[in-house]
Amino acid sequence: MSYEELMDYDEVMESYDPALGLEVHVELNTHSKMFCSCSTQFGAEPNTQTCPTCLGLPGSLPVVNAKAIESAIRIGLALNCSISTWCRFARKNYFYPDMTKNFQTSQYDEPICFDGQVEVEVDGQPFIIPIERAHMEEDAGKSQHMGGTTGRIQGADYSLMDYNRAGVPLIEIVTKPIMATGPQAPAVARAYVGFLRDMIRALGVSDVRMEQGSLRCDANVSLMPKGSTTLGTRTETKNVNSLRSIEKALRFEICRQGAILSSGGQVVQETRHWHEDGAYTSAGRSKEEAEDYRYFPEPDLVPIAPSREWVEELRATIPEPPAVHIAGLNKTWGFSDLEMRDVVNAEAVDLIHATVEAGASPQAARKWWMTELLRRANAESISLEDLPISGEHVAEVQRLIDSGLISDKIARQVIEAVLAGEGSPTQIVEDRGLTLVSDSVTLQKAVDDVIEANPDIAQKIREGKDQATGALIGQVMKQMSGQADAAKVREMIIASLAS
Amino acid sequence: MTLTNADVARLADLARLDLTPEELSVMAGQLDVILDAVASVSEVAGDDVPPSSHALDLTNVFRVDEVHQSLSPEAALKMAPAVEDGRFRVPRILGE
Ligand SMILES: [Zn+2]
């Protein structure tokens, strides 16, 4: 729980303009580490993927992974960055047991990619995100804090270190201050990180799984009084590991900073931690004393000088930007602009694409993802893609409907069961005996019973009041527990009363 | 170039070295001698000679992205002062 005062979001926006800064770390999916040949496989037994180089033993010598450089350049090109003609790695010196070397090999004032920009869209409105740099570095080991009550570093008696992740290649992508977003700031941040995720996935250089930490975001935000051009004091929120949390964390920080500033206080420049469960941020390390990492050029590595021929070769491999990709998809889908915007906002493009690929019509795919499933995702406060159902499942449900085996209503039950982990749609329909009763004897019996029980309504239909048919269909469907084809029931009622 | 005791104290702090005031003075004197020796390089290197960070005039020394055998966890952990649960055990990170 947070005990800090918050100001109403809309009120903050009446007096202040937010400025954003986003730092995104992307773990590359190379087979081996950045500077040694240890595996990068996620989830291996602790300390089974280490060697003298990534353990920082004396006399070991790092050698750069060519694939990591290639991936870095491709990310830079997709962000419309300039690619350095000559750059170096640097040592970032710090004492923390997540790196046995007591420094992280990173880049300092010579990033491999710099000065880019990308465009993202929020509710149909384009926003330019200026990119400061994308540089190469290595990931650190994982620590587990022991003793104490919370498993956190505070109050721990000691820590246990696993260096499997130490040395896995990372790309850090840093924006310039993102201004003039107004109240859309949190949504713009989310759209930008969503863009990075989609773009990097399309490049195939990372798994970009936020929940596994292969895409991590630190979100900076500050407020300045409306009309001012001087940036306010910023805070940096860490540990934000879903797109939804980025939006929520920024909104929280804006309301918190708004309350401080409007009561005449000063925002403290500090690191803040996002707490997913309570949806609030809490103060971490204060940054009053600027950290001194004593960067210097890495003496064990020679400079990187990507030839222009290589850069152009790589440029030819860059897929189209997600917005162009989406526009291309919609040429065959034929959704209206408004429908497509909703689909994009709900992050349902890939899911609908998968559903259509699996054989469903675009309209049917959109219907399921944007109504039933979106409602479920929203109710659970998770993203659509985190629902335990795939495009193939949805296409299969639609196939069962189209072939007359189940009704729309039963389809909803089937979807529920898939979400509950009961198996594939076809299997669920079989296991639960949900197929429509198409056997006419059983159906005719139900129709006859309902007509007999409702002589008044039957008479109205005989007199030509067709709209009365609905009441009888409803009752037959109820008797059949929904497992009948409504159109067929209608036909049978009319035929029975006409004779 | 003259290093003050305060400069050396800050460097010692960053390097997590606990030096007495006497040691600081000794270090300041010794570091001054080293810095002077290094500074003499700039007397021969004109503005047209860019500072170098590596002894070899090479670029783009890469290796292919291939996984080779890592150390066994036993071998890796044998170097650790303390081990627990297949991990390196390190003292408390944050002070009181
Ligand atoms: Zn290694």
- CATH number of the domain to which B27 belongs: 1.10.20
Examine the domain organization and report whether A182 and A140 are in the same domain.
Answer: yes
CB A63 within 8 A of CB A298: no
Residue B33 belongs to a domain: yes
Q: Lowest-pLDDT range, A253-267, A352-366, A446-460?
A: A446-460
Q: Is A164 exposed, middle or buried, given 0-12, 13-18 or 19+ CB atoms closer than 10 A?
A: buried
* Residue among B56, B62, B70 whose CB faces A66 most closely: B62
Residue A57 belongs to a domain: yes
Q: Which residues of B touch A (CB under 8 A)?
A: 14, 16, 53-54, 56, 58-68, 70-73, 76-77, 79, 84-94
Contact B93 A69 (CB under 8 A): no
Q: What number is the average pLDDT over the span A199-215?
A: 90
* Selected residue with higher pLDDT from A430 and A139: A139
Examine the domain organization and report whether A60 and A170 are in the same domain.
Answer: yes
pLDDT at A356 over 70: yes
String of DSSP letters for A140-183: --EEEEESSSSSSSTT-SEEEEE-SSTT-EEEEEEEPPB---GG
Residue A58 belongs to a domain: yes
**Residue for token pair 């540089």:** A135
Percent of chain B with pLDDT over 90: 58
Counted domains in chain B: 1
* Half-sphere exposure of residue A405: CA atoms within 13 angstroms, side-chain side: 17
Domain coverage including residue A361 = 322-432
Q: Which residue of B has its CA nearest to A285?
A: B94
pLDDT at A483: 76
In whole angstroms, what separates CA B57 from the centre of its chain? 23
pLDDT at B96 over 60: no
* Residue among A66, A143, A144 whose CB faces B64 most closely: A66
Counted domains in chain A: 3
User: How sure is the predictor about A387, in pLDDT bands with cuts at 50, 70 and 90?
Assistant: very high
In whole angstroms, what is the distance from residue A372 CA to residue A393 CA?
14
Examine the domain organization and report whether A423 and A452 are in the same domain.
Answer: no
Examine the domain organization and report whether A337 and A486 are in the same domain.
Answer: no
pLDDT at A288 over 60: no
Domain coverage including residue B34 = 5-44
Q: What number is the average pLDDT over the span A110-136?
A: 95
Token pair recorded at residue A316 = 């030819």
Contact B66 A37 (CB under 8 A): yes
Residue B54 belongs to a domain: no
Q: Does any CB of chain B come closer than 8 Å to the CB of residue A61?
A: no
Mean pLDDT of chain A: 91
Contact B61 A64 (CB under 8 A): yes
pLDDT at A148 over 60: yes
Residue A346's nearest CA partner among A234, A134, A194, A211 is A194
For the full predicted model, state whether its pTM sits above 0.80.
Answer: no
Examine the domain organization and report whether A50 and A171 are in the same domain.
Answer: yes
Residue A5 belongs to a domain: no
Examine the domain organization and report whether A484 and A358 are in the same domain.
Answer: no
Q: Lowest-pLDDT range, A23-27, A67-71, A136-140, B32-36?
A: B32-36
Q: Where are the alpha helices (DSSP H) in A316-437?
A: 322-333, 337-345, 349-357, 362-368, 374-379, 391-402, 408-419, 425-432
pLDDT at A227 over 80: yes
Residue A399's nearest CA partner among A411, A390, A416 is A411
CA distance A231 to chain B (A): 30
Examine the domain organization and report whether A86 and A147 are in the same domain.
Answer: yes
Alpha-carbon separation of residue A365 from A29, A40, A396, A470, A471 (angstroms): 31, 37, 11, 28, 30
For A103, residues 6+ apart whose C-beta sits below 8 A from its C-beta are: A91, A92, A93, A94
Q: Does any CB of chain B come closer than 8 Å to the CB of residue A440?
A: no
Residue A1 belongs to a domain: no
Which of A53-57, A380-384, A406-410, B9-13 is predicted most confidently? A53-57
pLDDT at A289 over 70: no
CA distance A143 to chain B (A): 9
User: How sure is the predictor about A403, in pLDDT bands with cuts at 50, 70 and 90?
Assistant: confident
Residue B51 belongs to a domain: no
**A454-485 pLDDT, tens per residue?**
999 888 888 888 888 888 998 888 887 777 77
pLDDT at A409 over 90: no
Residue B11 belongs to a domain: yes
Q: Does any CB of chain B come closer than 8 Å to the CB of residue A27?
A: no
Chain B environment of A51 (Cβ under 8 Å) = 70-71
In whole angstroms, what is the distance from residue A475 CA to residue A481 CA?
10
Q: Which residue of A has its CA nearest to B52?
A: A297
Q: Which residue of A has its CA nearest to B90?
A: A159
Q: Is A300 exposed, middle or buried, given 0-12, 13-18 or 19+ CB atoms closer than 10 A?
A: middle
Number of helices (H), then strands (E), belonging to chain A: the values are 17, 15
Contact A302 B56 (CB under 8 A): yes
Residue A481 belongs to a domain: yes
Contact B53 A37 (CB under 8 A): no
Percent of chain A with pLDDT over 70: 97
Residue A423 belongs to a domain: yes
In whole angstroms, what is the distance from residue A224 CA to residue A18 CA?
6
Q: What number is the average pLDDT over the span A121-137?
A: 94
Q: Does any CB of chain B come closer than 8 Å to the CB of residue A160?
A: yes
Residue A294 belongs to a domain: yes
pLDDT at A168 over 90: yes
**B21-49 pLDDT, tens per residue?**
999 999 999 999 999 998 888 788 878 88
* Selected residue with higher pLDDT from A404 and A282: A282
Which CATH number fits the domain that encloses residue A479? 1.10.10.410
pLDDT at A59: 92
Q: Give the number of beta-carbon pairs within 8 Å between A and B.
A: 127
Mutate to test the interface with A, among B53, B66, B69, B89 (most CBs of A within 10 A): B53
Contact A302 B90 (CB under 8 A): no
Residue A97's nearest CA partner among A52, A161, A167 is A161
* Selected residue with higher pLDDT from A367 and A322: A367
Containing H/E element for A127? strand A125-138
User: How sure is the predictor about A489, in pLDDT bands with cuts at 50, 70 and 90?
Assistant: confident
Write out B45-62 in H/E/C secondary structure: CCCCCCCCCCCCCCCCCE
Q: Which of A432, A455, A482 is a domain's end point? A: A432
Contact A160 B89 (CB under 8 A): yes
Contact B54 A299 (CB under 8 A): yes
